[in-house]
Amino acid sequence: MTRPLLLSACIATLMLAAPVLAQPSPKDASSISASNEAATRGPADAALVGALHEFAYERGALYAVQASPQRITDIALEPGETLLSVSAGDTTRWIVGDAQSGVAGNIQSHILVKPNAANLSTNLVIMTDRRVYHVDLKSTSGAAMAAVAWRYPVAMTLATSQPPAPPPAAAAPAPSPVFTPETLNLRYRIDGDKPDWRPLSAFDDGKQVYIEMPDNLIEAPPLHVIGDEGLEAVNYRIRGKYYIVDRLFKKAELRLGSGWTQKKVVIIRQTPIAAVNTDGGPNG
């Protein structure tokens, strides 16, 4: 007869030990909801430039962006604005990457977002050298916003367009990475057009893909991975003359321009990603 009592005592102990999640008071919850609603700027508040939704930038505003599976939504920053960081609330069900367009001296940063399913929501915090953007992301099976940008108050534009004070000493360019040849998978093929920025080679170390570009690269075309469902955003950065992609891929493309002037180069991995060498080396 003592077992049920002992079990009850154990359950009671576990209930007492279980963490209790703090809940905001009804008053606080109502205040938060009201302030978020008042700060939200939706698609109807944006000016339309073709398929581009252009919001008026306001400090503290929350910008509602609607995306859709199998579509990439382009969030474009002000030309010349330097992207410092992008943080997403849900990085499991949303693909978030960044890319650049333009030429040296007038580079424009882009944040590319794509949901894995409909009826998802999360947020983005975008930090730059000029301002912070708060974005509320929602996914739908219906129409998606193709592109989002901002227009800025004249005073803010004038302030940010002033030439910055010269640094105490010019920063040295980031050196190209150093590789150990025997650990690399070199089996990549480069196809497509032959612009000045066509890559010289591509290879991986089992974790990251390195795309070697020509010396003195003037244009930096954005990189997209081509997955089973189309273009995917991917995290990458440029170091020296290399694009460094933070994951392996089967196929990717570099694309610059539009219409009949568009140039496209495709990078294809020639071995399965799942394959592992029997000698314990990297994927081949």
Name, in order, each residue with C-beta under 8 angstroms of 76's C-beta and a sequence gap of 6 or more: 52, 108, 109, 110, 147, 148, 149
* pLDDT tens digits for range 96-125: 888 888 887 788 999 999 898 999 999 999
pLDDT of residue 161: 53
Compute the average pLDDT of residues 149-171.
61
Class level of CATH domain 38-154: mainly beta
Compute the average pLDDT of residues 30-46.
87
Distance CA 117, CA 72 (A): 13
* 183 touches 206 (CB < 8 A): yes
* pLDDT tens digits for range 125-138: 999 999 999 999 99
Q: Percentage of residues in the chain with pLDDT exceeding 90? A: 38
This model's pTM is above 0.75: no
**Domain residue limits, the chain:** 38-154, 181-269
Compute the average pLDDT of residues 52-78.
93
Q: Do domains 38-154 and 181-269 have the same CATH topology?
A: yes
pLDDT of residue 22: 63
Instruction: Give me the chain's average pLDDT, please.
Output: 81
| Top-confidence residue, 159 or 241 | 241
* pLDDT tens digits for range 171-211: 455 556 666 777 789 999 999 999 999 999 999 998 899 99
- Architecture of the structural domain at 181-269: Sandwich (2.60)
* 98 touches 86 (CB < 8 A): yes
Q: Reduced to 3 states, what is the DSSP secondary structure of residue 89?
A: coil
* 157 touches 79 (CB < 8 A): no
Residue 169 has pLDDT above 70, yes or no: no
Question: CB count, 10 Å around CB of 96?
Answer: 20
* pLDDT tens digits for range 144-158: 999 999 998 864 555
pLDDT of residue 220: 76
